[in-house]
Amino acid sequence: MLEVRHLSVKYGNKVIVDDVSFSVEAGQWLMIIGPNGAGKTTIVSAVSQGAPYQGEILFEGKNIRRYKSRELAKKIGVLTQNHYVGYGFTVEEVIRLGRYAYTKSFLSGRDDDGEGKVKRAILRTGMEPYLHQSVLTLSGGELQRTFLAQLFAQDPKLLMLDEPTNHLDLVYQKQVFALVKSWIAETHGAVVSVVHDLSLAKRYGTHGILMNHGKIAAAGTVAEVTAPEQLNWVYSMDVYGWMREMYGQWS
């Protein structure tokens, strides 16, 4: 579905992402893991055309630079990390923006199966009670779910999630990951997500890439990527020991 070939991103002289290649097929959930500053978010930006890059990114065999903006939005949906909204739009208005790609190009004409998609997205994320509330009054978690609802309304084939749960407490973390998992099962789509929490990555990912200083340190199934020797080397600490110590407290 998505194929990234020799992706490199530079800001000035600084190489942020260095010759990264990977691919994602339908039904897969690829976890991008690695320490801070490894270039994880930049990969998401490049795929969503938000950062200048070298290399090729193909979606269903076609270079994504050759997609029109609207067509690309029907294929790839992106959830970014920061959601600071400047004005008091209602939750419903923000969610409905997800249907933009399906409206006619001028004076936004009708979008026939949009109503159903919007309704389902709202139900899926549990945002119904908030629809007429201003987004400025929402908590971090509610705002995150608003944008997740927008993403579901957009109905893409591939979701790119950048730290989808970094503002969320445990309950919503679990909810969001379960939601995305059921979305994959239902639509047979694919997901790429940047995740800090290695336990979540192990629990929900099917595949993964481990990033270190802009390069891929390991790629494969999640089990392969999270093997102790690689993690310990990339994070320069005994990751497994630490995890056991942390989670052992709960047994």
Partner 1 sequence: MANKYKSGFRIREYLVFAVITVFTMLLCICIGSVNIPLCETADVLLRLLRGAAQEEGSMAASIILPVRLPRVLCVAFVGASLSVGGAAMQGLLKNPLADGSTLGVSSGASLGAILAIAFGITLPGVPFAGTMVMAVLFAFLSLLLILALAYRLDSSLSTNTIILIGVIFSMFVSSLSNLVITFAGEKVKTITFWTMGSLQGSSYANAAVMGVTLAVCGLILLGCATELNAFAVGEENARTIGINVRRMKLTVLICISILIGVSVSIGGSIAFVGLVTPHILRRITGPNHRRLLPASVFGGAVFLMLSDLAARTILRPRELPLGVVTSLIGSVVFVTIFFQMRKGKL
List interacting residues with partner 1 (CB under 8 A): 48-50, 68-74, 77-78, 80, 83-90, 92-94, 96-98, 100-101, 103, 106-108, 115, 119, 122, 128, 131, 136, 147, 150, 154
Give least dist CB 86 to partner 1, A.
Answer: 4
- Closer residue to partner 1 in complex, CB, 41/212: 41
Rounded-to-integer distance, Cα 110 and Cα 69, Å: 19
- Closer residue to partner 1 in complex, CB, 108/221: 108
- Closer residue to partner 1 in complex, CB, 84/250: 84
Rounded-to-integer distance, Cα 240 and Cα 242, Å: 5
The position carrying tokens 């009708």 is 110
Give least dist CB 89 to partner 1, A.
Answer: 6
Give least dist CB 17 to partner 1, A.
Answer: 18
Rounded-to-integer distance, Cα 182 and Cα 176, Å: 10
Give least dist CB 73 to partner 1, A.
Answer: 3
- Closer residue to partner 1 in complex, CB, 82/249: 82
Rounded-to-integer distance, Cα 126 and Cα 133, Å: 14
All residues at 6 or more sequence positions from 88 whose CB lies less than 8 Å from its CB, including other chains: 134, 135, 136
- Helices 140-154 and 114-125: crossing angle in degrees, nearest 10, is 150
Give least dist CB 96 to partner 1, A.
Answer: 7
Query: Token digits for 92?
Result: 């419903």
Give least dist CB 33 to partner 1, A.
Answer: 22
- Closer residue to partner 1 in complex, CB, 62/203: 62
**Residues 140 and 112 sit within 8 Å (Cβ to Cβ):** no
- Closer residue to partner 1 in complex, CB, 93/197: 93
H or E segment at 224?
helix 222-225
